[in-house]
Amino acid sequence: MTAPGRKVRIGIIGAGAFANTHMEQFAKLPNVEVVAFHRRNAEALAEMQRKWDVPNGFTDHRKMLEMPGLDAVDIVTPTNSHKLYAIEAARAGKHVLCDKPLAMTADDCREMLEAADNAGVIHSTNFNQRGNTVLGRMKRYMDSGFVGKVYHANIWWGMSYAADARPDALSWRLRPESAGGSVYELIHVFDMARFIGGEVSRICAKLETHQKSRSFQDAPEGFEVKVPDSSAFFVEWRDGGYAVMHTSFASRGTDSDGKTHARIEISGEKGRIVSDGRMALQGNTGPNGPLVQLEPGPPYPQPYERFVNAVASGDKSKIETTFYDGYKAAQLVDAAYLSWETGGWVDIPND
């Protein structure tokens, strides 16, 4: 908990391109101040400091963690470095917001969760698509009884990173050590499934690599792609019902804003609700009839806001997606790969 009237002081570990999105979110909040950046490249670090008027810069994250008055860190680095930074930050007594995926395996996520809990710090996985898509607004309708008991849900999220469609694409998305293609990079869908229907009891997966060799802006010579660029998952919820999910880096076409957004449809005993574009909703509840436009409601709180408010108040219950949620999503990813290897269903531990 911070002193009354004092802003939460955050340092960003990994002040690269993605840190700009985080800075835009923090800039909307009145009770936070980003006071330090970390980046190993000193020149790029200085440029980011100038851009955002951040006074303190570090090329060594451990020096940042020693900074007096620093309350928390936000980790915005490649996934395979999250474990190191998060555990060291927690042991230094800093609250931790970490980008998704939390780590590259569920076992690593579990270690991060245990380290943060043992240190007594507030921790959050940045599953921002609950607020960055229409899903959080759909969940408000679900919580009000609009669909009743959920029977089934469909989640589709696709985009193209093919060489001719996205010549500017960087290679990290399709490298197993840094992103894991359409499975790990779009891990959001596993969090969405848990958000909609609760814990998953088992999963069956189909994974495919359509473009097995391609070049990238940062790898013009190209390389063999060893991760899926499209994936399909069938999950069953522990409390009943199921979801079908499809993610793709091989699907062409965009929405009107030039991006692609998750399409979500949820059906239950009383009604049905579907996403219709970026933030629009349609639905029907009660007597059967045509879908009608629904008022989506106010923006759904992002993890950035929840994290800052939790640190400011010392109340970890304000966090919606802790490291535990990052762990459970990673558990589903690991099980999806095992399902594809074995050709069948894989049970998810109830832990």
**Residue 27 lies inside a defined structural domain of this protein:** yes
The CATH number for 162's domain is 3.30.360.10
Residue 209 pLDDT grade (very low, low, confident, very high; cuts 50, 70, 90) = very high
Q: Could you give the percent of the chain with pLDDT greater than 70?
A: 99
221, part of any domain: yes
* Cβ contact 83:55 at 8 Å: no
Which pLDDT tens digit goes with each residue over 6-25? 899 999 999 999 999 999 99
- Identify whether 327 is part of a domain: no
- Kindly state the average pLDDT of the residues 118-140: 96
Give the residue-averaged pLDDT of 290-309: 96
**Is residue 277 predicted with pLDDT exceeding 80?**
no
How many domains does one find in the chain? Answer: 2
HEC secondary structure over the chain: CCCCCCCEEEEEECCCCCHHHHHHHHCCCCCEEEEEEECCCHHHHHHHHHHHCCCEEECCHHHHHCCCCCCEEEECCCHHHHHHHHHHHHHCCCEEEEECCCCCCHHHHHHHHHHHHHHCCCEEEECCHHHHCCHHHHHHHHHCCCCCCEEEEEEEEECECCCCCCCCCCHHHHCCCCCCHHHHCCCHHHHHHHHHHCCEEEEEEEEECCCCEEEECCEEEEEECCCCCEEEEEEEECCCCEEEEEEECECCCCCCCCCCCCEEEEEECCEEEEECCCCCEEEEECCCCCCEEECCCCCCCCHHHHHHHHHHHCCHHHCCCCHHHHHHHHHHHHHHHHHHHHCCCEECCCC
CB-based contact 59:45 (threshold 8 Å): yes
346 occurs within a structural domain: no
Q: Check whether residue 137 and residue 221 sit in a common domain.
A: yes
What is the rounded average pLDDT of the residues 99-110? 96
Whole-angstrom Cα distance, residue 165 to residue 159? 10
Is 167 within the bounds of a domain? yes
In this predicted model, which residue has the larger pLDDT, 277 or 176?
A: 176
* Band of residue 179 on the pLDDT scale cut at 50, 70, 90: confident
What integer pLDDT is reported at residue 3 of this predicted model? Answer: 75
- For residue 176, the model assigns a pLDDT of 85
CATH of the domain at 18: 3.40.50.720
| Residues 221 and 254 reside in one and the same domain | yes
144 and 262 both lie in a single domain: yes
Residue 191 in any domain: the answer is yes
142 and 119 in a common domain: no
- Mean pLDDT over 30-50 rounds to 98
| Average model confidence (pLDDT) across the chain | 95
**Same domain for 148 and 13:** no
Of 157-171, 193-207, 328-342, least confident by mean pLDDT is 157-171
Structural domain including 293 reads 130-298
Position 279 confidence tier, pLDDT thresholds 50, 70, 90: confident
